Structure 1
């Protein structure tokens, strides 16, 4: 059984099932999966996974949604990737948490500061079965508002994609011991706020193909 999570229902209009209410949000039950709309942002993503896992056994969880592609990432609009690692870029100083000496999480005796892996075995298995490349995601509460800002972030952290939930999902999955994976489709160039340059419909269609293939 999969627990599927997406920030908004607009990113998963293709899932069908019987509606039920969870934390005030609409979700869907289907054969082999439960889908929950988390709401936008890190707190909503982590809270939804944590509360659900406290009430129900979770075999594996998938976060999916759209993302912006950083300059030089080599990703086209509508392209789908698996996220192997998430960076929480607005946690700590400009250089992250490590200079402060306070890890965000300790897993198996290893301190984790601003970089949080998705489950390697699950992610690599999905990459092989779905034929998707592995990339690095970067999570912020506030997305880039200019190409200059986007370039600075990708240069600093070596990330390919920008989103608002992934690092929190990865951290919560690690803390809860839930195998977690993340699929993203590129909807826009990171740092470009003009919607004329976005391809949201194409990104959602690509997500549909990937998620239904997974199910």
Structure 2
């Protein structure tokens, strides 16, 4: 058995509880750190400073891009992208990369991604966007789909967790299950029970990571 556990970071307690129910706490530590990239980065950095982990996973429910990730399905990120980190211009959005102030894209660890894909063969793989304001209109959904043709889902924490992991030199991955399609906000149509069931079903794949 590996000497160090894996850390899973979620936004809220309900996500953490769903994962903990399926995992041995000696092998995988699950902590909820708050909603949004700032809370995710700060909370993850605190946890990584307090204990040694062999990997950190950002996990939870997400919105899926229609036609790319089905509601109730599981998504694995190849990259976590801060989709709203940049500047507006008359010609459109400029990511922070083009402004010369760093990068809005962080790659997930390829070894972790490969292992998760093998354990979760039904999962969809692609970019997962991190947004401080989640999508609520068809126009925004269309713009994001055009800007990010490889994006399969959006959430609010992945990039923050990835930044903390990179700063600590710890391998990072992001795993999401889809509760709703992105676009016009319709809470009545969200399938939270299906997303949480998929999250619980995916938990053993994390425990089996190298």
- Whether 1:54 and 2:49 are equivalent positions in the alignment is yes
Partner of 1:77: 71
Q: Which has the higher contact order (CA 8 A, sep 6+)?
A: 2
Residues 29, 37 of structure 1: CA spacing in aligned structure 2 closer, same or farther, 3 A cutoff?
A: farther
Partner of 1:176: 168
Distance apart, 1:36 and its partner CA? 0.7
Partner of 2:10: 6
TM-score (norm 2): 0.86
Q: What is the CA–CA distance in structure 2 between the aligned matches of 1:59 and 1:117, rounded to whole Å? A: 17
Secondary structure of the corresponding residue to residue 170 of structure 1: helix
Secondary structure of the corresponding residue to residue 188 of structure 2: helix
Query: Where does the alignment leave 5 or more consecutive residues of structure 1 unmatched?
Result: 18-27, 104-112
Residues 213, 87 of structure 1: CA spacing in aligned structure 2 closer, same or farther, 3 A cutoff?
A: closer
Q: What is the CA–CA distance in structure 2 between the aligned matches of 1:66 and 1:127, rounded to whole Å? A: 18
Q: What is the CA–CA distance in structure 1 between the aligned matches of 2:128 and 2:136, rounded to whole Å? A: 17
Deviations 1:97-140 (A, max 9, x none): 1232221xxxxxxxxx2111111111112111222331111111
Q: What is the CA–CA distance in structure 1 between the aligned matches of 2:73 and 2:13, rounded to whole Å? A: 20
Question: Is 1:69–1:188's contact at 8 Å kept on the other side of the alignment?
Answer: yes
Question: Is 1:42–1:169's contact at 8 Å kept on the other side of the alignment?
Answer: yes
Partner of 2:105: 115
Q: What is the CA–CA distance in structure 1 between the aligned matches of 2:98 and 2:55, rounded to whole Å? A: 33
The count of corresponding residues between Structure 1 and Structure 2 is 195
TM-score (norm 1): 0.84
Deviations 1:76-109 (A, max 9, x none): 1100021110110111121201232221xxxxxx
Query: Where does the alignment leave 5 or more consecutive residues of structure 2 unmatched?
Result: 88-92
- Whether 1:164 and 2:156 are equivalent positions in the alignment is yes
What pairs up with 1:1-215 in 2 under 5 angstroms? 1-14=5-18, 15-16=20-21, 30-73=25-68, 75-93=69-87, 94-103=93-102, 113-131=103-121, 132-158=123-149, 159-215=151-207
CA RMSD of aligned residues (A): 1.8
